[in-house]
Amino acid sequence: MMTPEQIVASHKANVETLFGLTAKAFEGVEKLVELNLSAAKAALDESAHSTQAVLSVKDAQELLAMQANLFQPLAEKTAAYSRHLYDIASGTGSEFTKAFENQSVAAQKQFSTLVETATQNAPAGSEQAVAMMKGAVTAANTAYESVQKAVKQATDMAESNIAAVAQSVTAAAPKAAKKK
């Protein structure tokens, strides 16, 4: 059994984790707002510049050339914005994942301690039940570790796919602009 001091310490650690995660979430939101404000400001500046450029066009040929030249920077900026957005989301998500993993490790240790204490205090003749319980705990821990590895692999694959898509969009933008 846990002592009152252990219960208080556990609750205190959980509250500290909660406040830490809340702070990380606010940092993520703050970065997102900052990114969106700078993107909006840049878009407004570029819009004003483009409008001035369009108003100074003398013929249709020049307008078409200008339009083609606008697509490449737009694609590059969109890809950069997406990368920044993904970095913010993955950074914040990784903080939550670390906290969850730390809490899971602590919970596993507590549960293992509880199981060990229970098995030491088990009445004579309950060895088979104790062995089954320990086997079930081991199987659950193994399954949890397998799920963690699968999630990590899926996350790594998603990150590499996003990077590949962003790179291909950035590389394709100049080709698309030249075709117009």
pLDDT digits (tens, 9 = 90+) for 91-133: 888 888 888 778 777 777 777 777 777 777 777 777 787 778 7
Is pLDDT above 60 for 176? Answer: no
Q: Which domain holds residue 117?
A: 4-179
CA–CA separation, 90 and 82 (whole Å): 12
Average pLDDT score over residue span 152-175: 71
> Residue 59: left (phi > 0), alpha (psi -120 to 50), or beta?
beta
Q: How many other CB atoms are found less than 10 A from the CB of residue 87?
A: 12
Structural domains in the chain (count): 1
Q: Which stretch of 14-18, 80-84, 165-169 has the lowest confidence by average pLDDT? A: 165-169
Is pLDDT above 80 for 49? Answer: yes
